[in-house]
């Protein structure tokens, strides 16, 4: 079935780059997403990538997609303390429910 896997925790120093990785199983996924959740807050859509793209850059964010390996990554350049949050990878496959399949979330800790 559909599944999305992420590592649970990442710690970086302020100013470094962060790379959060994700693997997924549904090869029919047309969109892949990254969401950010800060404590007590909702899910903020950070960025997304079409499955026919390899890379998407949006300011400090770079998304890389390896469709062959079903691997997605989110790189945050010049990570700031305000980037500390939980980051969710998600796919929206061909299911007619429109359901998003989320990973477990990666907690990013940014140390000053």
Partner 1 sequence: EAQVTQNPRYLITVTGKKLTVTCSQNMNHEYMSWYRQDPGLGLRQIYYSMNVEVTDKGDVPEGYKVSRKEKRNFPLILESPSPNQTSLYFCASSFQVYNSPLHFGNGTRLTVT
Secondary-structure percent of the chain, ordered helix, strand, coil, rounded to 5:
5, 55, 40
Q: Are 36 and 91 in contact (CB under 8 A)?
A: no
> Which member of 39, 82, 98, 112 binds partner 1 (CB under 8 A)?
98
Indicate the residue among 93 and 110 with the shorter CB distance to partner 1: 93
> Which member of 18, 24, 26, 33 binds partner 1 (CB under 8 A)?
33
Q: How far is the CB of 50 from partner 1 (least distance, A)?
A: 8
> In angstroms, rounded to a whole number, what is the distance separating the alpha carbons of residues 100 and 46?
15
Q: How far is the CB of 96 from partner 1 (least distance, A)?
A: 7
> In angstroms, rounded to a whole number, what is the distance separating the alpha carbons of residues 9 and 11?
7
Q: CA nearest 23: which of 101, 110, 107, 109?
A: 101
Q: Interacting stretch for partner 1, rule CB under 8 A, among 14-22, 55-63, 72-80, 91-99?
A: 91-99
Contacts of 65 (CB under 8 A, 6+ apart): 32, 49, 51, 53, 54, 55, 71, 72
Q: How far is the CB of 78 from partner 1 (least distance, A)?
A: 25
Q: Does 99 bind partner 1 (CB under 8 A)?
A: yes
Site residues (CB under 8 A) for partner 1? 30-31, 33, 35, 41-45, 48, 88, 92, 94, 96-100, 102-105
């Amino acid at each position: 079935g559909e599944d999305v896997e992420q590592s649970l925790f990442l710690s970086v120093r302020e100013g470094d780059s962060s790379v959060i990785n994700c693997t997924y199983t549904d090869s029919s996924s047309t969109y892949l997403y990254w969401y950010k959740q800060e404590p007590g807050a909702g899910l903020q859509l950070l960025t997304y990538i079409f499955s026919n793209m390899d890379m998407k850059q949006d300011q400090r964010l770079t998304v890389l997609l390896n469709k062959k390996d079903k691997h997605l990554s989110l790189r945050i350049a010049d990570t700031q303390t305000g980037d500390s949050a939980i980051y969710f990878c998600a796919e929206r496959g061909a299911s007619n429910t429109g359901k998003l399949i989320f990973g477990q979330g990666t907690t990013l800790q940014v140390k000053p």
